[in-house]
Amino acid sequence: MSDTKVHQDTSFESFIDELGIHEEVYGEAIKRVIAWQLENERVSKGVTKAAMAAAMGTSRTQLSRVLDPTNVNVSVESLDRAARTVGKKLELKLVDA
């Protein structure tokens, strides 16, 4: 048997906690999901990136940052504006850890 631990019946969160990378991975995972959802809505509604950026009152470059799943340095305000331009609402909430 190798030195690698076998993870059975553990949640993803407990696994990344064990690796000591929870904050880094979890934040990026959330951003990836939001970016994926925004892009899917944009495409399904036939909205070009130029039109979406204009509706948000921003540049295509800034929109690209919002839609970049690896860019976690995007403001909640930018994500909310992007969501509204595709007919959605961004919802944030606190839950027990």
CATH number at residue 19: 1.10.260.40
Count of the separate structural domains present in the chain: 1
Per-residue pLDDT of the chain (97 residues; tens, 9 = 90+): 444 555 455 676 777 777 777 677 777 888 999 999 999 999 999 999 999 999 999 999 999 999 999 898 999 999 999 999 999 999 988 888 7
Distance in angstroms (rounded) separating the CA atoms of residues 70 and 4? 28
Rg of the chain on CA atoms, in Å: 17
Query: How high is the pLDDT of residue 8?
Result: 54
Domain interval for residue 67:
12-85
> Which residues make Cβ contacts (< 8 Å) with residue 57, sequence separation at least 6?
81
Query: How high is the pLDDT of residue 67?
Result: 96
Q: Does this model's pTM top 0.85?
A: no
Asked if residue 61 is part of any domain, the answer here is: yes
Residue 6 φ then ψ, to 5°:
-95, 130
Residue type, 47: V
